[in-house]
Amino acid sequence: MTPLRIATWNCADGLERKAALFHRIAADLIVVSEVRRAAFAALAPGFAAAHYTPSSSARGIATFCRHPGLMQHPFAAPDGAECFQRLTLGTVDILAAWVKPQGSYTAPAAKAIARFLRRPRAAHRIVLGDLNLNPGFDRVKATGRATALVAKLGRAGIRSLYHQHMAEDFGAETRATHFFLRNAARPFHIDFIFASGGLRLNHFELGDPLHWIGTGLGDHVPLTAELALPG
């Protein structure tokens, strides 16, 4: 079993000023949201493989990998949903996401994940990033249902590693991944790493808000998981 460390972090823009924070993330594969192309270009040479996908804004999603085998493939999310990357690393099919709203946050995530799951079944699957999924949002915008989407992933054998590690239900999280306006009194759990059952979870870590949230820092903490990859 080969260990694979993966991580996701929404840097809240300004990655060029947060390189020291970025390099704290000890992972083989790092997905970063809200990245400008120039910041990506400055960091990419330090990795064996790196891919950037812009959104309709000046920011996009960036993936950095210490293994040269990471490949990006065309992935057009339906109805213009953004911002997504479909990647493969060996036998692992990966959907990396920074979900931007389309009437709701859940609707574009549901469209992209449905298209990802319709692809020929891979040996292993990972979905990770700032998915902006929270059942509390369902009460505000009823266009899509976050709980139903997480249940759909579960039926496909893809589980949230935070919830597995913490033995908590979706919507009942005791730790947040995002603090709105960097305010500790406004916590949300909206960033995720999902993985299929054949990938054994060895370790899971959620960043400490004391080190990641604040002026000059950001409003999200990183999520890092070590998985045992068969073969």
The secondary structure element, H or E, covering residue 102 is: none
- Is this model's pTM higher than 0.75 or not? yes
Q: Cβ neighbours of residue 190 under 8 Å, at least 6 residues apart? A: 105, 130, 131, 132, 133, 134, 177, 178
The secondary structure element, H or E, covering residue 130 is: strand 124-130
Convert the pLDDT of each residue in 146-157 to its tens digit.
Answer: 899 999 999 999
- 165: closest CA among 82, 218, 227, 119? 227
User: Taking 90 as the threshold, does the pLDDT of residue 136 lie above it?
Assistant: no
Mapping DSSP to helix (H, G, I), strand (E, B) and coil, where does residue 113 land?
Answer: helix
Convert the pLDDT of each residue in 147-202 to its tens digit.
Answer: 999 999 999 999 999 999 999 999 999 999 999 878 777 899 999 999 999 999 99
Bridge-based pairing state of the strands 191-196 and 158-160: antiparallel
Query: What is the band of 231 on the pLDDT scale with cuts at 50, 70, 90?
Result: low
Range of the domain at 125: 2-229
CATH number at 113 reads 3.60.10.10
**Into how many domains does the chain fold?**
1
What was the pLDDT predicted at 213? Answer: 94
Distance between CA 44 and CA 55 in Å, rounded?
A: 18
